[in-house]
Amino acid sequence: MRDFSTDHRWLSINTATVRKSRGVEVLLPDIIEACARRGIRAISPWRDQVAAAGVDVVARLLKTHDMQLSGYCRGGMFPDTDAKGRQAAYDDNRRAIDEACALGAPCLVLVVGGLPGALQGKPAHKDIDLARTQVSYGIAKLLDYAGTCGMPLAIEPLHPMYAAERACINTLEQALDVCDALDPMKSGAEPGTRRAALGVAVDAYHVWWDPKLKAQIERAGKNRLLALHVCDWLVPTNDLLNDRGMMGDGVIDLPQLRGWVEAQGFAGYSEVEIFSSANWWQRDIGEVLDMCISRHRSAV
Ligand code: ZN
């Protein structure tokens, strides 16, 4: 396992972590500058932040600071009640792939969607199996386009509490079943095996509780492990979406998880992704980034 204790070469900041500073929205160029000043070499930006700044501007800034992406957030949201809605989702996902390519992202992260309308508080139906079928169709169709630009897609299983609103793929096992069905390949990390077109983003917050986690990480192998997201699970958690903890403040054994992922040959960034409306988004961006560096070294 890599030693993170003396430097933060492998730290990436998911830019949602510093979406706000002292409660006020921070623009992506300012986030990039603040990261660069601290020697942070990678980020994973969100589409709305990129759109606000302009893809070209962001691409240039990344180049200026020799900064990499650890992923691009995010595509997905496939299920819909009619063909028109599903086509709109497809078109939007194609644009997300184009942006990911323009920014040099290693993968586009997919939050696959749940019951149509649920995120807006008006679920159109109760058929989660149908939603899952539409997710598979949606990813299959998108894979063709992603293949033409060589952009890997990373399915992020979300904690089951988000199954209705955000993602009906809730375990690594489910995600890998979809990977194996749509992108069959030799598993493992043998030399010469091609890069996966479809893989997974392992987010500690979503999967830490899963009794099959270690086995499914081994099943994924190096080729399908496209991203590692870290934060912590607070006890108690006060908000289902926006009360994620800083690494070391909760109950997730992050070094164990990283050990499992790295045992498969994963050698990418450890991406800090914290949504925290009442705590970290109320603090100064500099303080948050310094804390991310410190905890990356001591708790990941
Ligand atoms: Zn994540």
pLDDT value at residue 167: 98
pLDDT at 245: 98
pLDDT at 190: 55
Say if 45 falls within a structural domain: no
All residue ranges of the chain with pLDDT < 50 are: 189
What is the CA(109)–ligand 1 centre distance, in A?
8
Q: Report CA(156)–ligand 1 centroid distance (Å).
A: 7
Q: Are residues 162 and 26 in the same domain?
A: no
- Given 226, 256, 275, which residue is the final one in a domain? 226
Tell me the pLDDT tens digit for each residue of 44-74. Answer: 999 999 999 999 999 999 999 999 999 999 9
Residue 150 and residue 120: Cα distance in Å, rounded?
A: 33
The contacts of residue 104 (CB under 8 Å, 6+ apart) are 59, 62, 68, 69
Closest CA relative to residue 8, chosen from 48, 41, 31, 30: 41
- What is residue 298's predicted lDDT score, i.e. its pLDDT? 98
Same domain, 208 and 119: yes
Q: Residue 186: its pLDDT value, please?
A: 60
Residues contacting residue 150 through CB under 8 Å, at least 6 positions apart: none
Number of structural domains, the chain?
A: 2
Structure tokens at 214: 């270690």
pLDDT value at position 185? Answer: 82
Could you tell me the distance, in angstroms and rounded to a whole number, from the CA of residue 61 to the centre of ligand 1? 24
> Looking at residue 195, what is its pLDDT?
75
Distance 77 CA to ligand 1 centre (A): 15
Task: Write the CATH number for 87.
Answer: 3.20.20.150
How far, in Å, is the centroid of ligand 1 from the Cα of 6?
25
Q: For residue 8, give its domain range.
A: 1-40+231-300
Distance 167 CA to ligand 1 centre (A): 12
Could you tell me if residue 242 is inside a domain? yes
Task: Please check whether residues 90 and 175 belong to one and the same domain.
Answer: yes
Output the CA 158–ligand 1 centroid distance in Å: 8
Q: Specify if 58 maps to a domain.
A: no
User: DSSP strand E in 117-266: where?
Assistant: 153-155, 198-203, 225-230
